[in-house]
């Protein structure tokens, strides 16, 4: 697996800017729309669980689980961007991820932030 399979974030050219900072240099906030989030819950594949169990005996990265978590975060972020767009935003400030176990059947990933309308300074 190449490094590109373990990365995340937005595709270049997106119409919605997403940053983890509270502001965006070169822009001013014209309007705060409010909180937006994207949520997904993924169950673990039984094959990856068996592989993870075997790998845990010898140590090392659980690449299958890592890849699944990257895909899950990317899906949550896509949903965040869709929500911002629908509400009329052109940016999301202070984006964060929250990850937790969902009733022992999977992993819940939530991407959240503040939807805003930015204008160039």
Please state the rounded mean pLDDT for residues 68-90. Answer: 94
pTM: 0.81
Report pLDDT for 9: 72
Q: How many angstroms separate the Cα of 24 from the Cα of each of 11, 32, 117?
A: 18, 14, 11
Measured CA to CA, the distance from residue 77 to residue 5 in angstroms comes to 16
Task: Render pLDDT for 27-74 as a digit per residue (tens, 0 to 9).
Answer: 999 999 999 999 999 886 555 555 555 556 666 777 777 788 888 899
Residue with the two structure tokens 């939807």: 115
Strand partners, 96: 112
Is pLDDT above 90 for 120?
Answer: yes
């Amino acid at each position: 697996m190449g490094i590109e399979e373990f990365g995340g974030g937005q595709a270049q050219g997106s119409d919605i800017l997403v940053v983890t900072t509270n502001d965006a240099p070169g822009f001013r906030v014209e309007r705060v729309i409010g909180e937006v989030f994207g949520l997904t819950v993924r169950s673990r594949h039984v094959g990856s669980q068996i592989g993870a169990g075997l790998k845990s005996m010898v140590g090392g990265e659980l690449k299958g689980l890592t890849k699944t978590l990257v895909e899950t975060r990317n899906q949550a972020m896509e949903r965040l961007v869709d929500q911002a767009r629908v509400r009329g935003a052109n940016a999301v400030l202070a984006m964060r991820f929250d990850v937790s176990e969902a009733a022992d059947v999977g992993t819940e990933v939530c991407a959240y932030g503040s939807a805003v309308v930015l204008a160039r300074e």
